[in-house]
């Protein structure tokens, strides 16, 4: 009887480990600012481009603060290199706008352009849509997609409050707020 009990426990543990290994792995690629619009800010486009790069680096340098596992409810790997490459290649034409409306991005078209080192698993990206300085708020889409097919599995619009000193920290706080308040 004792042997049967231990055999059942071993089988259950093996099944659990097997089920966990077949679950898709999550890869967080950071924040895609290439479709962003900025309303009511005095800083230059170049200042924003530098801030966007700095915000993505915060995901690595302050990993505990900008922890996506709270939002995702699971562990993940982070690779911001694809977003850094996108930002470096973007000239941000039309970044600054004179109204608080913006065109919605086609998420599947956006993620289809990503050059990613992974060929399978689930990708996660925050696509920045609008940084509204007078209202001190930023709007993002949290996009989860299948890396192999680039099919969007989930998209959720979220907002975060802006505050802090300096351009990077001011808008980075919106990411921090989104990660703290959003559950998928």
Q: What is the pLDDT of residues 22-74, one digit of tens each?
A: 368 999 999 999 999 999 999 999 999 999 999 999 999 999 999 999 999 99
Residue 4 in domain? no
Residue 151 in domain? yes
Residue burial 70-92, b: 16+ Cβ < 10 Å; e: rest: ebbeeebebbbebbbebbeebeb
Contacts of 159 by beta carbon, 8 Å cutoff, 6+ apart = 137, 138, 139, 140, 174, 178
Structural domain of 44: 24-181
Count how many domains the chain has. 1
Residue 101 in domain? yes
The two structure tokens encoding residue 76: 């993940």
pLDDT exceeds cutoff 50 at 20? no
pTM above 0.85, yes or no: yes
Number of C-beta neighbours around residue 168 at 10 A = 19
Q: How far is CA 171 from the centre of its chain?
A: 14
Q: How confident is the model at residue 101 (pLDDT cuts 50, 70, 90)?
A: confident
- pLDDT mean across residues, the chain: 90
């Amino acid at each position: 009887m004792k042997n049967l009990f231990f055999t059942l426990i071993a089988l259950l543990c093996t099944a659990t480990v097997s089920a966990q290994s077949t679950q898709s792995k999550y890869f967080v690629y950071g924040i895609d600012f290439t479709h962003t619009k900025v309303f009511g800010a005095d800083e230059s486009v170049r200042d924003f481009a530098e801030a966007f790069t700095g915000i993505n680096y915060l995901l690595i340098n302050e990993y505990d603060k900008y922890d996506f596992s709270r939002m995702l409810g699971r562990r993940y790997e982070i690779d911001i290199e694809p977003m850094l490459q996108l930002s470096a290649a973007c000239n941000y034409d039309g970044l600054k706008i004179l109204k608080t409306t913006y065109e919605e991005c086609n998420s599947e078209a956006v993620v289809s352009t990503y050059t990613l080192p992974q060929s399978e698993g689930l990708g996660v990206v925050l696509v920045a849509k609008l940084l509204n300085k007078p209202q001190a708020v930023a709007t993002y889409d949290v996009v989860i997609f299948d890396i192999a097919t680039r099919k969007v599995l989930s998209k959720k619009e979220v907002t975060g409050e802006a505050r802090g000193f300096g351009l990077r920290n001011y808008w980075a706080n919106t990411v921090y707020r989104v990660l703290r308040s959003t559950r998928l």
